[in-house]
Amino acid sequence: MILSPSTNVVKMIIGDLAIPRLREVPDQRTMGRSQCDSPELNPSCICCSWKHLKFYAASKRLSTAVLDTNGLPLETGVEYYALPAITDVAGGLTLINRNNSCPLYVGQEPIAPVVSQGFPVTFKPYAEGETIIRESRDLTVTFQAFTNCIQSTAWRVGEEDLETGRRFLVTGGEADYFAIQSTTGGYSLVWCPTESCPTCKPRCGSAGILIENNKRLLVLDGPAFPFRFSRVN
């Protein structure tokens, strides 16, 4: 059984519930002290610190806020429906029981006479203290729903589809960091962590839809599916 606290909608499928376990943010105040405890003796520390400060300030200034359907910035911790930007293309994002077992997969509500908005999601930026969701910045995504599986409803990258090689998005376990990017007619969801792992070389991918056994599943590594975000009233 799955229950969305915002809508009181109940779905009888196997699910999961737990508090998301997010990666701990390194304490920037203690990193590198062994080399830069005395910056007056090491000018490179002053140089690098100043360059990092300028880069961080520039990225904060140039990063555009993601807007909801009312033209307002998305806010940290506030619930939103992730809906297709193109009308008449099924419903909002939801939890999908793909294999009659846990974990649940990220997918899309099917086309129906009355299309469902799915389950609300919340966003949490990697940047500590950030209250606005900004384009191309690392963040976690979590469904706000109660389920039967004893697992988190936070998103992560799952296994590859054997036929297409595209990677599924699933829930449960440690949350991965995603980003929202502006695209024609809306926004796309991408996996390409940069802030959370600046030295990584990930196999980046945009989220699109894969239809399997009449189920619409969210997967990476294909054409991006455009979304819009509607604040839950």
Q: What is the 3-state secondary structure (H, E, C) of 95-150?
A: EECCCCCCCCEEEECCCCCCCCCCCCEEEEECCCCCCECECCCCEEEEECCECCEC
Q: What is the pLDDT of residue 45?
A: 39
Q: What kind and span of H or E run contains 186?
A: strand 186-191
- pTM: predicted TM-score of the whole model, two decimal places: 0.75
Domain ranges for the chain, please list them: 1-17+42-233
Q: What is the pLDDT of residue 13?
A: 41
What are the tens digits of pLDDT across the range 105-126? 999 999 888 889 999 999 999 9
User: Rounded distance, CA 18 to CA 79, Å?
Assistant: 17
Alpha helix (H) residue ranges in the chain: 33-36, 43-62
Q: What is the pLDDT of residue 1?
A: 54
Spans of the chain, pLDDT less than 70 = 1-62
C-alpha to C-alpha distances, 101 to 104, 111, 132, 147, nearest whole angstrom: 7, 24, 35, 12
Looking at domain 1-17+42-233, its CATH class is: mainly beta
User: Rounded distance, CA 121 to CA 155, Å?
Assistant: 10
Cβ atoms of 189 and 169 closer than 8 Å? no
Backbone angles phi, psi at 33, to 5 degrees: -70, -25
Q: Which residues contact 57 (CB under 8 A, 6 or more apart)?
A: none
Q: What is the pLDDT of residue 225?
A: 94
